[in-house]
Amino acid sequence: FLPHLVAAMEEVEETYIMIKPDGFQRGLVGEIISRFEKKGFKLKGLKLFQCPKELAQEHYKDLQSKPFFPKLINYITSGPVVCMAWEGIGVVASARKLIGVTNPLNAEPGTIRGDLAVQTGRNVVHGSDSPENGKREIALWFKEGELCEWTPLLGPWLTE
């Protein structure tokens, strides 16, 4: 038993989750938000937003050199997205598990992509891949005053 490792795993983190334009057009907004709500994470920011090209390019700048980059930018800017900031213990990795792997055909049943999508180019949702990127992406997509600090009354029933 290594208490310092447990402590490291139990860091409170933030992640940026985004319902992509296909998820929005397909009417999956409520379904997708529900999965994070039911898990017990804390919603700190939520908005419907038409993403400009420059923001999409900045968000996905690590993928700039990939052949699919232009298509990805067209996809993300093709209609409204739903931007969310979620907080919780281990929320970054846990959200990625709830979302499932990048290619929905390989995503496990029970995950969002595994249940609701069939193609990598239409995989309905984004989730940050590290706590650092969680912070970076929330700062990129939300302006000051758009995030809400609040105390969940259910707190003691969700975490000890």
Catalytically active residues, by annotation: 126
**Region binding ligand UDP by CB under 6 A among candidate stretches 7-15, 24-32, 85-93, 117-125:** 117-125
List 43, 120, 147, 152, residue binding ligand UDP (CB under 6 A): 120
**Region binding Mg ion by CB under 5 A among candidate stretches 10-18, 31-39, 85-93, 121-129:** 121-129
Instruction: Name the minimum Å distance from CB 4 to Mg ion.
Output: 29
Q: Contact, 72 vs 63, CB < 8 A? A: yes
φ, ψ for residue 82, nearest 5 deg? -110, 115
Q: Are strands 81-89 and 12-19 parallel, antiparallel or unpaired?
A: antiparallel
Q: Pick one of ligand UDP, Mg ion, none as the site partner of residue 146 (Cβ within 5 to 8 A by kind).
A: none
Instruction: Name the minimum Å distance from CB 68 to Mg ion.
Output: 12
Binding flag, residue 44, ligand UDP (CB under 6 A): no
